[in-house]
Structure 1
Amino acid sequence: MSSWLPSLPYPPPDQQGFWEPVTSTINWCEEDYYATVYAAEIVNTLTNLLFIWLAYRGLVSCYKHGHDSVFAVAYAGYLAVGFGSLSFHATLKYPMQLVDELSMIYTTCLMAYASFSYSRSTAFRIVLAVSLVGLSLFITLYYHYLQDPAFHQNVYALLTTIIVFRTVFTMERTLRPSLRHSEEKHPQERKERSRGLHEKQVQARLNVRDKAILKDMWILVAFGLTMFLGGFGIWSLDNVYCSKLRSMRRKIGLPWGVLLEGHGWWHLMTGLGGYCYIVWGIWLRHCLNDRQDEYEFVWPRLYSLPEVVQFKAGKPSNNSLENGSAKKTR
């Protein structure tokens, strides 16, 4: 491959850098300081810019479209993850490692609060908030004592799995007509019937609308999980075959060798997966608030970014039933 691709050779290994010495408890497969003395792992550093950009987009969307404030806080946490990871990989310093890894835990706990606190009593929300703060504090102190990255990775994976399953349960129970209790079938039904519409017409319209929303949500969930699991798989290969990958990178040369940086791909893919999860949470919250006809899920192509947007005044909802069939949002 190196015979026909124009490339630059890698510098000799073990380059010295601005942030020496390394104090983090973990180092990655990317060689240190091979591109610049100011960033220990240049690819792992720059790929975190995606987190920062997506967090900015998310915060703007929350402000523009009036999403619940808990999701603005979640995007702020997502932004902290990006800055923390960027600082960690640039310096390989232990304090920056804590900022990177613990911000992931804190943001996940924020999403846990958003998932479990909805429509609960004030007392329950206070107990939940105190419990999650206590859990975050315990993880922080125990991880600082243990200094074992495997502990952080396992806790993060467990928390994320619990939240995803909880959110899927809420989504199905809220939107799947066959899973709703009869007395809960359609909170909007009274509004529709007060306008003189027949009950069966109302039920048909709302069922078609919610099934279309549910289909879009499942596509979003599948895409997000694919990004997460795919990124994890690539990162795992990076860990197992690190020495071989380093040899291949040096054989290929720069800039092509950066395509074999597995942890960088993990950043890009989990960045997209995390963004999709927050968008999913926003859309589900509007559905729980029975505001499906005020918002639209917009995702024209898989290679574009999904977003939940508020309808402009006077614009008809794409979820409304016209001539017996629902318009599609995608």
Structure 2
Amino acid sequence: MVAFYPSATEGFWGPGTSLTDWCEENYAMTPYLAEFWNTLSNIFFLMTAILGMRTLQSVGDVEQRNYLAFGSLLVVMTGSVLFHGTMWYHAQMLDEIPMIFNGCIIIYCALRIFPNSKKNDAAITTVLSLYSLLFTPIYVYNRNPDFFGFSHALLVVGLIFLPPIQINRLKREYSNIYDAKRIRGLWHLYWYSLACYLGGFSIWSYENVYCEHVRSVREVVGTPWSVLLELHMWWHLLSALGSYGVIILLAYMRLLAIKRTDVQLRWVGGTCVPILHSRLTAQKMREEDGLIPIICALAWDYGADTKYLKMGFGLRPAGTDGKWGAPTSTLDWCEENYIVTPYIAEFWNSTSNLFFLLFMGVGLFSVTRLGVTEMRTYLSMYSIAVVGVGSFLFHASLWYETQMMDELPMIYGTCVFVFAAWRVFPETNKNNNLLAFGLFVYSIAVTGMYLKLKNPVFHEVCYGILAAILFLTPPIQFYHIKHNYPQYSDRLSGLWKLYWYGAVSYLGGFAMWGVDNNFCEVLRTGRENVGYPARILLEFHLFWHFGTAVGTYASVMTVTYLRLLATGRSDVYLKWVGGVFPMVTTDLSYVEIRKLTKPKAV
């Protein structure tokens, strides 16, 4: 049974530190989520992003910009879940800053509809990049929600006015190719997207202005009807539909501009959800009777293979195409595809990503309990979760787009880890900007080259370089502690133990990964012979996920422990829970910790 708590009660994540606190009563449903309905309603972003990418794939849209627009919706979703779940300032930044980047990406798509717009690509990219990159430090510095609202509103206004301009241009320049019906369809989609977004914004504004009234009405009507008055939840639904609609609109216009006359607009469930359809596509989306519209949109035809459709939930032959179609990724791991369920390509490889989320949660709990205020630490923890989410999507679908959402965050997250590891001691902070710039350039260069080359070995080498740096850095820092902080010399044995714990976990996972890659046929034969449940123990990629999750967690906690000691926090110490799980903790109370700590720079 779900317990109910009074509004504003401190829950699992402690008192909120965010700049804004929405109208939903905090910890009213569970002590583990500050705003329960605001958190859960982010699933709408997940559904629309997946549906959008699948729609683009079904019509053969190969331009990365549109996939990036939908991918950034997933980043916004992740940040919003963390924000509403914890009400922390750092989580708020992970929600709101990606909204700016997402808006810039969609603006870019709107400006690059026609082939001849490529000549302005450099200028468009530069302006939008500067806008988003300048916004971030200014917002982090001034911490003014109105500044964020104004910056986001400018992008929204741009997205209100740009599509009509492009629709009219398409009508004018392609009148001999596309009839009035196509143009009306574009306008229909435009007004649909605009109505959804502005409707959601109106509801959001009403809740903010009349929060006390909304709360009193919720109290009168009681559960379950009060859920319908969680208006921020409706903002999430409608803004997700509005964002989805405008990205589909821009993708559709782009396809028409390059004379893809085979692509058409369809409305699943009447006027509920728009999708793109091509008569040339092998697998076509269709609407199934008796299913809700969004589920209908996710149920696409498998052609003549009706026997497969009737198999239901059960074991499947290796290599069978499931709900996500044939793999488009450059890698396909040793686990047999769709062998457990047609909805997840690599079931155990996907679900084992829960280890990343688990250790991120434990890590966040630890650093919050310790009173850590530096953003680098929280970014390190959040990076673990982002990689976990991306890896889940990749292994579940085996799409190239989700592969990038797994592998590129591995580069970005490890860059964050390296930055934190090299900036442990206050006396080394003078070159912060130079190090941050170097890692930023490295991550951008790797991204561009990897998207161009599409060579997994290139990614593995680039990631391996960062991992090697991260592996070699702690011993250097331990040496610095020994010679410059003699008061902590008794902590070195614990630090070394934590270091080797993480290193062995990571290298053990890497060894499993190597065996899984090089002896796949042996493992598959072994799994077939032993059967369930023992065959799960031969899913070695699962143990790679576990080993890297443990190793990454230990690495971040090692750096956090070092940083706390270097900044004079002699109260912290290393504790081994059950003798096997490390945690950095303190015996001080929360109030005492707050007196010791002050907000610090990144």
TM over 0.5: yes
Partners of 2:54 and 2:203 in 1: CA distance: 31
Question: What stretches of structure 2 of length at least 5 have no aligned partner?
Answer: 283-602
Partners of 1:121 and 1:29 in 2: CA distance: 44
* One-letter amino acid of the counterpart of residue 104, structure 2: C
Partners of 1:313 and 1:52 in 2: CA distance: 24
Q: Deviations over 1:11-54 (max 9, x none)?
A: 43332211112111000010000101111001100111010111
Q: 1:252 aligns with which of 216, 221, 245?
A: 221
Q: What is the correspondence of 1:193-208 to structure 2 with a 5 Å cutoff? A: 203=176, 206=177
Q: 2:207 aligns with which of 238, 243, 261?
A: 238
* One-letter amino acid of the counterpart of residue 166, structure 1: L
Aligned-residue offset at 1:210? 2.8
Q: 1:31 aligns with which of 25, 30, 37?
A: 25
Partner of 2:390: none
Aligned-residue offset at 1:298? 0.9
Aligned-residue offset at 1:58? 1.3
Aligned-residue offset at 1:302? 4.3
**Is the alpha carbon distance of 1:227 and 1:85 closer, same or farther for their aligned partners in structure 2, counting shifts above 3 Å?**
same
Q: Deviations over 1:207-241 (max 9, x none)?
A: xx431011111111112111111111111111121
Which SS does the other structure have where 1:213 is aligned?
helix
Partners of 1:263 and 1:280 in 2: CA distance: 25
Q: 2:266 aligns with which of 277, 290, 298?
A: 298
Partners of 1:58 and 1:150 in 2: CA distance: 31
Q: What is the correspondence of 1:1-330 to structure 2 with a 5 Å cutoff? A: 11-67=5-61, 68-117=63-112, 118-120=114-116, 124-175=120-171, 180=172, 184=173, 203=176, 206=177, 209-291=178-260, 293-312=261-280
Larger radius of gyration: 2
Contact 2:264 2:276 in 1 (8 A): yes
**Is the alpha carbon distance of 1:312 and 1:244 closer, same or farther for their aligned partners in structure 2, counting shifts above 3 Å?**
same
Aligned-residue offset at 1:144? 0.9
**Is the alpha carbon distance of 1:70 and 1:124 closer, same or farther for their aligned partners in structure 2, counting shifts above 3 Å?**
same
Contact 2:5 2:27 in 1 (8 A): no
* One-letter amino acid of the counterpart of residue 7, structure 2: P
Which SS does the other structure have where 1:164 is aligned?
helix
**Is the alpha carbon distance of 1:228 and 1:171 closer, same or farther for their aligned partners in structure 2, counting shifts above 3 Å?**
same
Contact 1:52 1:79 in 2 (8 A): yes
Contact 2:268 2:275 in 1 (8 A): no
Contact 1:9 1:253 in 2 (8 A): no
Contact 2:59 2:281 in 1 (8 A): no
Which SS does the other structure have where 2:264 is aligned?
strand
Partners of 1:313 and 1:51 in 2: CA distance: 26
Contact 2:7 2:28 in 1 (8 A): yes
Partners of 1:164 and 1:18 in 2: CA distance: 41
Contact 1:47 1:267 in 2 (8 A): yes
* One-letter amino acid of the counterpart of residue 6, structure 2: P
* One-letter amino acid of the counterpart of residue 312, structure 1: L
Aligned-residue identity in percent = 34
Aligned-residue offset at 1:246? 1.3
Q: Deviations over 1:116-149 (max 9, x none)?
A: 2343466631232122111111111111112111
Partner of 1:190: none
**Is the alpha carbon distance of 1:135 and 1:120 closer, same or farther for their aligned partners in structure 2, counting shifts above 3 Å?**
farther
Contact 1:10 1:253 in 2 (8 A): no
**Is the alpha carbon distance of 1:298 and 1:185 closer, same or farther for their aligned partners in structure 2, counting shifts above 3 Å?**
closer
Contact 2:115 2:257 in 1 (8 A): no
* One-letter amino acid of the counterpart of residue 104, structure 1: M
**Is the alpha carbon distance of 1:313 and 1:109 closer, same or farther for their aligned partners in structure 2, counting shifts above 3 Å?**
closer
Partner of 2:356: none
Contact 1:9 1:254 in 2 (8 A): no
* One-letter amino acid of the counterpart of residue 73, structure 2: Y
Which SS does the other structure have where 2:187 is aligned?
helix
Partners of 1:238 and 1:289 in 2: CA distance: 43
**Is the alpha carbon distance of 1:301 and 1:121 closer, same or farther for their aligned partners in structure 2, counting shifts above 3 Å?**
closer
Contact 1:52 1:83 in 2 (8 A): no
* One-letter amino acid of the counterpart of residue 114, structure 1: C
**Is the alpha carbon distance of 1:151 and 1:302 closer, same or farther for their aligned partners in structure 2, counting shifts above 3 Å?**
farther
- Please provide the CA RMSD for this pair: 2.2
Aligned-residue offset at 1:300? 4.4
Question: What stretches of structure 1 of length at least 5 have no aligned partner?
Answer: 1-7, 187-202, 315-330
Which SS does the other structure have where 1:299 is aligned?
strand
**Is the alpha carbon distance of 1:289 and 1:82 closer, same or farther for their aligned partners in structure 2, counting shifts above 3 Å?**
same
Contact 1:282 1:308 in 2 (8 A): no
More off after superposition, 274-283 vs 60-69: 60-69
**Is the alpha carbon distance of 1:87 and 1:9 closer, same or farther for their aligned partners in structure 2, counting shifts above 3 Å?**
closer
Q: Deviations over 1:40-86 (max 9, x none)?
A: 00110011101011111112222232212210111001111111111
Partners of 1:302 and 1:102 in 2: CA distance: 35
Which SS does the other structure have where 1:126 is aligned?
helix
Q: Deviations over 1:145-170 (max 9, x none)?
A: 12111211121121121133122101
- Relative contact order higher in (CA < 8 Å, ≥ 6 apart): 1
Aligned-residue offset at 1:251? 2.1
Which SS does the other structure have where 1:16 is aligned?
coil
Partners of 2:25 and 2:271 in 1: CA distance: 31
Partner of 1:319: none
Aligned-residue offset at 1:274? 0.8
